[in-house]
Amino acid sequence: MIIFQGEPRLNAYFDNAATTKLSQTAREAMLPMLDEIYGNPSSLHSHGQAAARQLQHAREAIARCIGATAREITFTAGGTEANNQAIISAARLGDKAGKKHIISTQIEHHAVLHCLEMLEKEQGYAITLLPVDPATGIMRMDDLQAALRDDTCLVTIMMANNEIGSLQPIAEIGALCRERGVTFHTDAVQALGHIPVDVNALNVDMLSLSGHKFHGPKGVGALYCRRGVPLRPLLRGGAQERNRRAGTENTPAIVGMAAALVEEFAELDETAARVAGYRDQLIQGLLKIEKSHLNGCATNRLPGNVNLCFHGIEGEALLLLLDMQGVAGSSGSACTSGSLDPSHVLLALGLPHEIAHGSLRLSLSRYTTQEEIDHALRVIPGVVAKLREMSPVWQEG
């Protein structure tokens, strides 16, 4: 049987949670840094000082977007480095004060979970991973309240989950941590550029971001660290970034990241409303498929996140057939795409392995079109039906 005969070919990209297309605004901002203003920002000559000024402009622009000051922004090579620096810095400072307990959740990105695992196994820290509500993927404040101890030195909880899109109560968490005198870090890699973020209203001490999640370049990110909160460097070398991050700054990427973020924040409300409308179309259309269900909160989720499970199919086969039909999606985090294990996030929601294996994440961006939405809604039901025809588990069920 040949499916989708005569179906028009369209390359519909729905993996923006993994990475986004570089915006034209970011590209144009980067070009002068490659061709004209190419000096080392640490150099005293005019070429270097021209680059240093561009670096400072970018720092100020990013700070304005999140309600911070320029001195509170440290540039990194991406979200993973920012997460590691925040966590390890807070952990070491806690150790000096005799505090070696850290609280996080079961659904964090591996950049956080693996860092915590290292601290637990190699340095003797006690790690508490809070559960989330199975229906929403959102942690409960009562659980955090109960988990806080006198020796808690850090709470690190993501703002928005990279797989199911659920938004955590960051402002409430931050207020509780501030009341208890505990440092609070949030991984905002998936959130920034897609929802409003104000570090003061959210009561955060540290916040991680990554340029390629909001149409900036890859390989660049930043860490916000509130003034007065000590930050230890991960890398040793030069005195760049006010002794917080050694190594010559990647000026073209930093400038591109800042330009992309400013563009996103300038059109945030309009873009979020349009993308959320597309998201809801996808969710409503795909839930018409027999034995499908939505993962994560139906309402309190990222504007561009869709994550569903289809019973009786395997996620890898689903992705391959969808790609043949011009739909690029994901079955979970891109960082674990080579693994046969189901998503740790879906398992934390209480889904059995056989159902978690049949997940599909579609993540949208400002460049998503109605044509792509329509194409996905035409193609996905047929692919699911075809896979179920070939599935002995589905046939037996």
Q: 292 φ, ψ to 5°?
A: -120, 150
- Residues 372 and 278: their CA atoms lie apart, in Å, by 10
For residue 205, the SS3 value is coil
For residue 102, the SS3 value is strand
- Residues 119 and 114: their CA atoms lie apart, in Å, by 9
Q: 19 φ, ψ to 5°?
A: -165, 155
> How many CB atoms neighbour CB 30 within 10 A?
22
Phi-psi region of 9 (alpha: psi -120 to 50; beta: other; left: phi over 0): beta
Q: Which alpha helices (DSSP H) does 67-157 contain, by range? A: 79-96, 110-123, 141-147
Q: Please report, in angstroms and rounded to a whole number, the separation of the first and last CA atoms in the chain.
A: 23
Q: Is 335 a residue of the active site?
A: yes
Beta strands in the chain (DSSP E): 12-13, 73-76, 101-105, 126-130, 152-156, 183-187, 206-210, 221-225, 292-294, 305-310, 327-328, 359-363
From the candidates 65, 297, 309, 335, which is the catalytic residue? 335
3-state helix, strand, coil in the chain (%, to 5): 45, 15, 40
Residues whose CB falls within 8 Å of the CB of residue 285, separated by 6 or more in sequence, listed in order:
377
- Residues 197 and 227: their CA atoms lie apart, in Å, by 18
Residues whose CB falls within 8 Å of the CB of residue 124, separated by 6 or more in sequence, listed in order:
100
Question: What is the C-alpha R_g of the chain?
Answer: 22
Per-residue DSSP letters for 305-345? EEEEEETT--HHHHHHHHHHTTEE-BSS-GGGTT--SPPHH
- Tell me which residues are annotated as active site: 335
